[in-house]
Amino acid sequence: MINKQFSFLILCLLGLTCAFLTEPSFRKRSLKEKYIDNLLNAEGKKSLDFSTQCNNLNLASHFNGTAMSGYLNVGIKNSSSALGFVFFGAKGVPTSQLKNIPTIIWIEGGPGCTSMYGAFIENGPLHVIQESNTTFSFKENSFAWTNDYNVIYIDQPIGTGISHAQKKSDIPIDEDQIAQQFYFALNQLYHSENGCFKQIGINGKETPLFIYGISYAGKYVPSIAQYIVQQGNKLNLKGIGMGDGFTSPYYDVESVNKYSYDHNLITLDQFNKNQIKVQQVQKLVNQTKWLKAKDQFEQLMDDVNPNNLDIYNIQRKEAPDATYLESFVNSKYGQETFSFKLDKTFEICGDLVFEVLSTDYMKEDCVARVEYLLHQEIYVHIYNGNLDLLVPYYTPQLWLSKLNWEKTQQFNKTPLENWSYGNNGTIYGQKQQYDLLNFQIIFNAGHMVTEDQPEAGYHLIKDQINYVLSKQQF
């Protein structure tokens, strides 16, 4: 999610990439109202403890497995800033055996959008249902990634979702700072006596680690993974995955216009006019004029969507209302059930983190990070919904075909074939895989693949992790 502030202050929805052309339904309150709410909500909560901690959750009546939550210090001197998380162990697996199960870190995008969206709306085991203003229940997700794997949903960078930023200056301004803070937090998770993984035995020798995320996490994930590998890969990282990832702003600018024309959203005349703007934005990216490039990209997103469709899924006029997630996390029930600690009003996408990372938004430095990972024998999984206008599947096709990797030519020669799972004959999309690199297109899905097509999303993660496990010895 790339949270965006278009000319009339509109932000990204659902934690996944840019901005909307119309304000999402859960973002109807003004920035001033939210600012006041945050001030009021913070009163009396300054003594909250955000040190590294692990809370065992009693979800026995809802989930057959280990569930935990907590906070992870990010290593800023004289600061309580910390990342918040929810962890679900693989379904039905005893806690003592979780160390033998592949473990996935899930990160949402934004920047500034919560991974609780992934936990409670996308691929987590429990989907939140709001019964009334104060009453909530859970519905089991048949296609949860936790059916087979441990998954930890981490709100990052600090200031996002349930995470805590003591002050604005603590929030990282670029991918290097993000990776450093996240790595410090992971060491707390794995090695601190108060870290959940330390307590249940998940470790960097026996437990294969994968990092997945969507939208703006197309920048987060390779940046964090690169840093882990550069530090000696002591966490046993085996692969990464990015869904509808904003990894390459340069090529995304190009693809949104072509995708819009190919899908009859604009005329040929409009396409040609937009191409001038595309070239202008790409020139600004090459000149490292990040803020000007961001402003013009936002204008281009208006131009490629004249009918004001939901840019996350062009088959919809507007995005689904997700305000119930905010209501749940802000409720007494939600906070008691999951041991959430809030010093602010919880929001799906927050303005502050997006503002701080505004110069990072159009930076073109993460494709090189993917190349580094491939050279270091880390598996890379890229997938996209075919209905996404914000990050069309054209975008990864453009930058993947130009990777500085010794096997790019072989990958490019590999045909894009229909992809299904098992013997049921259901075709979920298309797949192109060669050696360490896998690219998939998911049919009838938009920006949030595991929300729009949960069955396909479940099988794509099994497909990839099974492939990696079959190629490597742990």
Asked, for residue 415, whether it belongs to a domain, the answer is yes
CA distances from 352 to 72, 112, 327, 349 (A): 20, 7, 20, 9
User: What is the reported pLDDT for 21?
Assistant: 28
Residue 400 has pLDDT above 60, yes or no: yes
Sheet of 379-385: strand order equals: 53-56, 67-73, 82-88, 150-155, 103-107, 209-214, 237-243, 379-385, 437-442, 427-434, 417-420
CA distances from 470 to 4, 305, 435, 457, 464 (A): 41, 43, 12, 20, 10
Residue 98 has pLDDT above 70, yes or no: yes
The helix (H) or strand (E) run that includes residue 38 is helix 31-42
CA 49 to CA 405: how far, in whole Å?
A: 46
Residue 151 has pLDDT above 60, yes or no: yes
Question: Are residues 230 and 284 located together in one domain of the fold?
Answer: no
More confident: 414 or 21:
414
Task: Answer positive or negative: Cα dihedral of 423, 428, 429, 432.
Answer: negative
User: What is the reported pLDDT for 424?
Assistant: 67
Asked, for residue 197, whether it belongs to a domain, the answer is yes
Residue 6 has pLDDT above 80, yes or no: no
Enter the tokens of residue 87. Answer: 């962890």
Question: Are residues 444 and 385 located together in one domain of the fold?
Answer: yes
Question: Are residues 375 and 239 located together in one domain of the fold?
Answer: yes
Question: Are residues 212 and 262 located together in one domain of the fold?
Answer: no
Q: How many CB atoms lie within 10 A of CB 451?
A: 24
Asked, for residue 134, whether it belongs to a domain, the answer is yes
Using the CB atoms, write b or e for 94-105: b if 16+ within 10 Å: eeeebbebbbbb
CA 359 to CA 357: how far, in whole Å?
A: 6
Asked, for residue 12, whether it belongs to a domain, the answer is no
What confidence category does residue 472 fall into, taking pLDDT thresholds of 50, 70 and 90?
confident
SS3 breakdown of the chain: % helix, strand, coil, rounded to 5? 40, 15, 45
Residue 106 has pLDDT above 90, yes or no: yes
User: What is the reported pLDDT for 7?
Assistant: 35
Asked, for residue 257, whether it belongs to a domain, the answer is yes
Q: Into how many domains does the chain fold?
A: 2
- Residue from 33, 35, 133 nearest 344 by CA: 35
Q: What φ, ψ does residue 203 adopt, rounded to 5°?
A: -145, 170
What confidence category does residue 20 fall into, taking pLDDT thresholds of 50, 70 and 90?
very low
Question: Are residues 239 and 279 located together in one domain of the fold?
Answer: no
Which of these three, 303, 338, 373, is where a domain ends? 303
Asked, for residue 1, whether it belongs to a domain, the answer is no
- Residue from 298, 309, 463 nearest 388 by CA: 309
What confidence category does residue 423 fall into, taking pLDDT thresholds of 50, 70 and 90?
low
Residue 202 has pLDDT above 70, yes or no: yes
- DSSP letter at 103 equals E
User: What is the reported pLDDT for 286?
Assistant: 96
Question: Are residues 373 and 276 located together in one domain of the fold?
Answer: no
Question: Are residues 342 and 403 located together in one domain of the fold?
Answer: yes
Residue 452 has pLDDT above 70, yes or no: yes
Residue 13 has pLDDT above 70, yes or no: no
User: What is the reported pLDDT for 143?
Assistant: 97
Question: Are residues 116 and 183 located together in one domain of the fold?
Answer: yes
- Residue from 251, 258, 212, 275 nearest 364 by CA: 251
Per DSSP, the three-state class of 349 is strand
In tens, the pLDDT along 311-367 reads 999 999 988 899 999 999 999 999 999 999 999 999 999 999 999 999 999 999 999
Q: Are 416 and 442 in contact (CB under 8 A)?
A: no
User: What is the reported pLDDT for 14?
Assistant: 36
Question: Are residues 273 and 411 located together in one domain of the fold?
Answer: no
Among 71-85, 204-218, 325-339, 423-437, the minimum mean pLDDT is found in: 423-437
- Within 13 A of 172's CA, how many CA atoms are on the CB side? 25
Give the residue carrying structure tokens 């929805």.
13
**What average pLDDT is seen over the chain?**
90
More confident: 43 or 373:
373
Write out the residue range of the structural domain in which residue 110 sits: 25-247+317-471
More confident: 37 or 426:
426
CA 452 to CA 448: how far, in whole Å?
A: 6
In tens, the pLDDT along 55-91 reads 999 999 999 999 999 999 999 999 999 999 999 999 9
Among 18-32, 184-198, 334-348, 384-398, the minimum mean pLDDT is found in: 18-32
Looking up residue 392, the CATH number of its domain turns out to be 3.40.50.1820
Asked, for residue 360, whether it belongs to a domain, the answer is yes
What confidence category does residue 47 fall into, taking pLDDT thresholds of 50, 70 and 90?
confident
Asked, for residue 170, whether it belongs to a domain, the answer is yes
Question: Are residues 298 and 339 located together in one domain of the fold?
Answer: no
Q: Which amino acid does the sequence have at 53? A: Q
CA 467 to CA 36: how far, in whole Å?
A: 50
CA 368 to CA 307: how far, in whole Å?
A: 36
Residues 6+ apart with CB under 8 A from 474: 206, 208, 236
Question: Are residues 260 and 405 located together in one domain of the fold?
Answer: no
Q: Are 291 and 358 in contact (CB under 8 A)?
A: yes
What confidence category does residue 46 fall into, taking pLDDT thresholds of 50, 70 and 90?
low
Question: Are residues 223 and 266 located together in one domain of the fold?
Answer: no
In tens, the pLDDT along 252-304 reads 999 999 999 999 999 999 999 999 999 999 999 999 999 999 999 999 999 99
Residue 205 buriedness (CB in 10 A; 0-12 / 13-18 / 19+): exposed
Share of the chain above pLDDT 70, in %: 89
Share of the chain above pLDDT 90, in %: 86
CA distances from 69 to 8, 120, 345 (A): 37, 14, 19
Q: What φ, ψ does residue 45 adopt, rounded to 5°?
A: -115, 15
